A and B are shown apart, each in its own frame.
Chain A
Amino acid sequence: MGSTNSTLLKIPNVEVLMQETGFSPAHIIRLHDRFKALDKEGRGHLCPQDFGAIKELAMNPIGDRIIGAFFSPGKEMVDFHTFVKILAHFRPVDKDRPKEPNSPELINSRSNKLKFAFQLYDQDKDGKISRDELLKVLRAMLGMQVTEEQLESIADRTIQEADLDRDDAISFEEFRKSLEKVNIDHKMSIRFLR
């Protein structure tokens, strides 16, 4: 226990972080270890290059977008707090946790999970997934299996499905509606973060 406490003490504001993310000390420590392992030069923050060094991530078709999600626009580094907060999106929702009426929305709530996914599509941050943005994601995910024309038609079709106000783009509201029946808690949660 001693080592646990000492590691925790090294992290500034660890109490606030645990409060915000709902992670247990064990999780925080594990993530901190991982953070230090990724931060090869020991600068205390991570750069996109650090993420790029993860081999499997490089194979991920939308890996660069996911890396991008860690960095707020204009910034080139992410500190431990932000790192944990991003990962907290994927903590499974615990049902038995008492819900305080006026507590702020948890990071791992359904809409926050959705927002995270949404911003992966919405690269220009205008609150809408345009046809081009969708097309880029689709191209990355479908790869070589389909031709450009097919991609376009799939993108058109996808937009048509979700597009309620007919502005040829998917807003977050429309995005949420289109995924209403999907069990997001299930699909956007990682078991070992519980």
Chain B
Amino acid sequence: MAFLQQFALLLALLIVFSTSCKAATLEVDSVEVGHNYSSKSSATEKTSTSTNDSTDGHAPSVISTLPIVTWKWHHVETPYLVALWILTCWLCKLVCELNHSVTSVFPESGLLIMLGFILGGIVWGADKAQTFKLIPTNFFYYLLPQIILDASYCMPNKLFFSNLGAILIHAIIGTCWNAGTVGIALWACYEGGAMGNLNIGPLQFLLFGALISAVDPVAVIAVFEEVHVNEVLYILVFGESLLNDGVTVVLYNVFDAFVSLGGPKINAAEIIKGIVSFFVVAFGGSFLGVVFAILISMLTRITKNVQVIEAGFIIVLGYLSYLTAEMLSLSAILSITFCGVCCQKYINANMDEKSVTTLRYTLKVMANGSETMIFVFLGVSAIDKNIWVWNTGFILLTIFFVVIFRFIGVFFLNWILNQSRLIPIDITDQFVMAYGGLRGAVAYGLAAILDEKKIPEKNLMLGTTLIVVYFTVILQGITMKPLVQWLKVKKATHSDLTLNGKMNNRAFEHILTAMEDICGRMGDNWWTRHWNYFEDKYVCWLLLKSDARKHKDPIFGAFHKLNLEDATKYVTEGERKGSLDFIRNYDSASVDFKKKLALEYGDITPYITADMSEYDFGIDNVPVTSVMKNPIPSVSLDIHEQDRKSMPDDLSAHHLLAQHLYKSRRDNRPTYSRSHYNTSENPDEMQEIFQRTMRSRLEPFKSAKMGVNPAKKLSKHPKKDSTHKPNGKPADPHRTHPYGDEDFEFSADSASSSEIAGNFHRRSTNTPGAGVDNPAFIPEMDTSPPMRNPPWQTETGNNTAVAPSQRAQGRLPWTPTNLRHLAPLRMSTRSTDSFVMADASLDEEAPEEKPGTHHTRL
């Protein structure tokens, strides 16, 4: 009932909206009769605004007195209508989504079309003519590109390329088959007298067949996303629908050219030209897309300084790839598709994580928005009696042939494909694939741009296309879900990201390639491997930032992601417990820790016990748990050390204050900056408290450490440095940039502590959820611009610093691995294990390092 109420309310709202527009529209109509309002056009409708300005009766040229406010509808008319319609369409989507029991039966796309009918009816009722409809120009230039770009950018890359053969066969051969057979069959029926007297020749029928054979990605995505079929089926349907749009448009253009040429002029040469142009247009478009993908990837190598608009580059360049292809009369859809698919891997690695998220969301907003508008307008456009020319025979036969030939084509092509596929496509999958051949807005758009001079029966074709669209989207869309359930089509299995999975995948790949080598035959893995080799050697060099290159390993990526997850979980867990007790009860924990160490490893190696005794001096008042569990305390230790050495004593007082006074967020920097993200713009109160607690816990530890053997550490430092120079690398200059290197920096070979501090500072910017390092609580110098260039970062290479040991640096990011087990005060024995083992190996080469390292780490 609530739903109905809301619905009624919304309808009322819509009516109010549309009548207000209507009033204005009618007014304009009186000035300029018959002017057609585009739905969304902004650029194409400029003329209307300008002409209206001149003929405007509202703004008198001579004014007698100063008007306080004036009514300037005509100034804003076009953009206003556009915005209003966007709002209306999105509100429709909102209405659709209000009630889940409805959306679980009807696909959203179908509901939107039906709401479009209602809206169209309202407009019709007010205007007695359809003043708003989907104009092909708007559709192809302003609504479609972002949908395709989003779909291709979010395409599961590996899956797509591993099934590319099947997708291409379905997209190219399948579409040609559909176009040809539907056209010819319809013509044959026409000749047989099934549809009365029509003014359509065989070529026109073929043209119609071409436009009606486009499986629409928009409709397919909308329906299949709700169904969750298995990933191979999904990629086949989805990839096919995406690519065959391009193919359809090409085919359409070829046939359109034939129609313009006229029947008698078509000879063998022209047909061959048509075929050649088909391939040139299709592959040229794809190639152009790849070129743009390379451009985008190269551009993102250097956009880190303009991070705010980084995501915008991708969208604009993607759009440009579409327009460029259109300009060169290549396939624009294929161009933007391949652009998105090819560049995603590299730009995701090159760009900052935030930009990637931004891009994802922006694309999603744009794509979903225009998808909604397309469906609504498919409905609105139907309420127009001008386009309806009814011919039962033609319409019914079209629907029949479209469905039948789709089935035949899909089954036949799959049968061929199955001969050589490792995992054959199931018969049920094939059925769903054929049934998922939904027609959509692309077909409508193509039908709408038919030239009435060349094709006298344009309106019949347009109407039939609309009916086919409604039939497939609404009827097949509704029945899709029950069908999938009834046929027991394998559903998508959601699998968690695990290191085991990633690692074993890698191992399996190696095993398979090895086996293929042993068998001495070139298999699938041969191609994969050689592409990987080529990619590693050349492509990555060209397209990836140097540090992104380092981290692109999938196993490593999985590791990184899991660590981030854990860090988030850790904080959430702590927050859930509320009191942060889990950090505080370190007494028992430290005892526990020591006991465990002693129990488990005391008997193994003598030097471990030596280690134990060495760090025993401070253990009692050190919150071992907190340090053990969280890497950040050790980081803050580093920071403190740096600070301490770099500043005179009076500043340490400042430090003390800075740490123990609760800092107001307002005091030190503007919360809004136009060109930069503030790294911790939403300082969660919990996090701040958490941070503060951690730091105060660490205070005694630090002082103990500093107090006990500072001299020793200072003296050993040069030696340590020399020991580690060979595998350490000097701090890159660019690293000091706060945004320079936003990748989760795991580099353990960094030699200077300043660098590691920098790394961690940056890391914290990446993991706001981890709640680890709120910059508000990093003690900072008054002079330096806050957070942009903290002092510990600028003073690189100062070797008098008490640097944490190299191992400690390497280990820091390690610690979160334990977090999984931290829930109820569980010390990971594994962690100590690895500590000990690492120590054992390193102790041999640098025994004097021990105390320091233990402190830094433990």
Interface segment, A1-9, A13-21, A134-142? A134-142
12 additional contacts, CB 8 Å, given A138-B555, A178-B498? A54-B520, A117-B511, A120-B511, A141-B506, A145-B550, A153-B811, A154-B499, A160-B820, A190-B525, A191-B421, A192-B523, A194-B422
B500 within 8 A of A: yes
Q: Determine the chain A residues whose CB is within 8 A of the CB of B516 once the complex forms.
A: 190
Interface size counted on chain A using CB atoms at 8 A: 57
Residue count of chain B within 8 Å CB distance of chain A = 58
Chain A residues with CB under 8 Å of B423's CB are: 92, 185-186
Q: CA A121 – CA B503 in complex, angstroms?
A: 11
Within 8 A of B (CB), among A147-182: 147-150, 152-154, 156-162, 168, 178-179, 181-182
CB-nearest residue of chain B relative to A70? B518
Complex contacts, A131 vs chain B, CB 8 Å: 833
Contact A154 B555 (CB under 8 A): yes
Complex contact B514–A182 (CB within 8 A): no
> Smallest Cβ distance from B447 to chain A, in angstroms?
41
The residue on A at minimum CB distance from B526 is A56
Quick one: which of A48-70 are within 8 Å of B by CB?
51, 54, 56-57, 60-63, 66
Interface pair B505/A187, CB less than 8 Å apart? yes
Question: A153 CA to B495 CA in the complex, in Å?
Answer: 23
Chain A residues near B (Cβ < 8 Å): 30-31, 34, 37-38, 51, 54, 56-57, 60-63, 66, 87, 90, 92, 116-117, 120-121, 131, 137-138, 141-142, 145-150, 152-154, 156-162, 168, 178-179, 181-182, 185-194
Q: Is B519 an interface residue (CB 8 A)?
A: yes
Most buried by A among B495, B513, B550: B513
What per-residue 1/0 map shows which CB atoms of B413-448 lie under 8 Å from chain A?
Answer: 000000011110000000000000000000000000
Roughly how many angstroms separate A137 CA and B510 CA in the complex, as a whole number? 11
Chain B hits for A192, CB < 8 A: 519, 521, 523
Contact of B748 among A30, A120, A150 (CB under 8 A): A150
Residues of B within 8 A of A142 (CB): 553, 555-556
A sample of 12 inter-chain contacts (CB < 8 A) reads: A34-B518, A51-B518, A63-B514, A120-B511, A149-B838, A150-B748, A152-B814, A156-B834, A160-B821, A181-B495, A187-B512, A194-B422
A160 / chain B contacts, CB cutoff of 8 Å: 817, 820-821, 828, 830
Contact residues in B for A87 (Cβ distance below 8 Å): 515, 518-519
B421 contact set on A, CB distance < 8 A: 191
Q: How distant is the Cα of A131 from the Cα of B817 in the complex, in angstroms?
A: 15
Q: A146-B553, A149-B838 are in contact. Are A57 and B507 (CB under 8 A)?
A: no
B800 within 8 A of A: no
Check B746 against A146 for contact (C-beta < 8 Å). yes
With CB as the reference atom, state the residue of chain A lying closest to B515: A90
CA separation between A193 and B420, bound complex, in Å? 11
Q: Is B501 positioned at the interface, with any CB of A under 8 Å from its CB? A: yes
Contact check, A157 vs B505: say whether CB atoms are below 8 A apart.
no
A90 touches B493 (CB 8 A): no
The residue of chain A having its C-beta at the shortest distance from the C-beta of B498 within the complex is A161
Q: Does B810 sit at the interface, judged by CB under 8 A?
A: yes
Interchain nearest-CB distance for B536 vs A (Å): 10
Interface contact B500-A168, CB-CB below 8 Å? no
Quick check: B524 and A191 within 8 Å, CB to CB?
Answer: yes
Give the 3 A-B residue pairs with the shortest CB-CB distance, closest first.
A149-B810, A153-B814, A178-B500
The residue that B830 contacts in the complex, of A30, A31, A149, A156, with Cβ under 8 A, is A156
Contacts of B550 in A (CB 8 A): 145
Chain B residues whose CB sits within 8 angstroms of the CB of A158 once the complex forms: 499-500, 503
Q: How far is the CA of A174 from the CA of B543 in the complex (A)?
A: 40
The contact of A120 among B501, B507, B521, by CB within 8 Å, is B507
User: Which residues of chain A are near B515, meaning CB under 8 Å?
Assistant: 66, 87, 90, 190
Are B498 and A147 within 8 A (Cβ)? no
Residues in A with CB closer than 8 Å to B511 are 62, 66, 116-117, 120, 188
Interface residues in B801-858 by Cβ distance below 8 A to A read 807, 810-811, 813-814, 817, 820-821, 828-831, 833-834, 837-838
